[in-house]
Each structure stands twice: as C-alpha cells, then as structure tokens.
C-alpha cells in the first residue's frame, strides 16, 4: 500500500523535505535540466503557523549542513509588486 505525503504527519513531511533538499541528486540538480533547484511546499492553511516555524527550522538545519537557502514568500512578493506598480490601492 502506498502512502501519500498528504497523509503523513507534519513531522514526517518535514523530515521528507529536509532529506530531499539535502540529497545529492537535488543539490547537483540531477534530473532538473541544470535549472536552479527550487521547492514549493504546499500545506493546509490550518498548518500555516506550524510551517512558518518549521521553515525557520529547515533553513537553520540546512545552513548548518552547508546548504544555502533563499526563502521567498510569494504572497508578500506579489503584494510588494502590486504596490510598486500602483495597483495595490486601486479597487
């Protein structure tokens, strides 16, 4: 029987994500067509506070293992772009 990632606990999904990003295959961009590796982590909105804390933990652990991370909050980025273009305040 196959277990989907969605059916796992937050801790199990975090461990999976940590292992994946630290893997030699991911770090060497194997199978990615030599593109810059990036990873989007979807999660239910109910878990947002927990994932915010886990994101900090993930970045810290990866940094301690020599993996550089750039965290981009797409929501905040979109708002910033809309404000720069003068679109944010329009209704």
23-63: pLDDT as tens digits: 888 888 776 676 776 777 788 899 999 998 999 999 999 99
Q: Is the pLDDT of residue 1 over 80?
A: no
pLDDT number for residue 32: 62
Q: Which residue has the higher pLDDT, 3 or 72?
A: 72
pLDDT number for residue 64: 95
Closest CA to 47 of 6, 3, 2: 6
Burial of 26 (0-12, 13-18, 19+ CB in 10 A): middle
Of the chain, the percentage scoring pLDDT greater than 70 comes to 90
pLDDT number for residue 74: 86
């Amino acid at each position: 029987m196959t277990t989907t990632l969605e059916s796992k606990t937050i801790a199990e999904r975090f461990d999976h994500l940590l292992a994946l990003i630290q893997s030699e295959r991911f770090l060497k961009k194997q199978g990615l067509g030599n593109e810059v590796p990036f990873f989007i982590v979807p999660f239910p909105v109910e878990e947002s506070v927990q994932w915010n804390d886990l994101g900090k933990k993930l970045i810290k652990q990866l940094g301690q293992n020599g993996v550089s991370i750039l965290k981009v909050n797409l929501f905040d980025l979109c708002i910033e772009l809309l404000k720069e273009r003068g679109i944010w305040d329009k209704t």
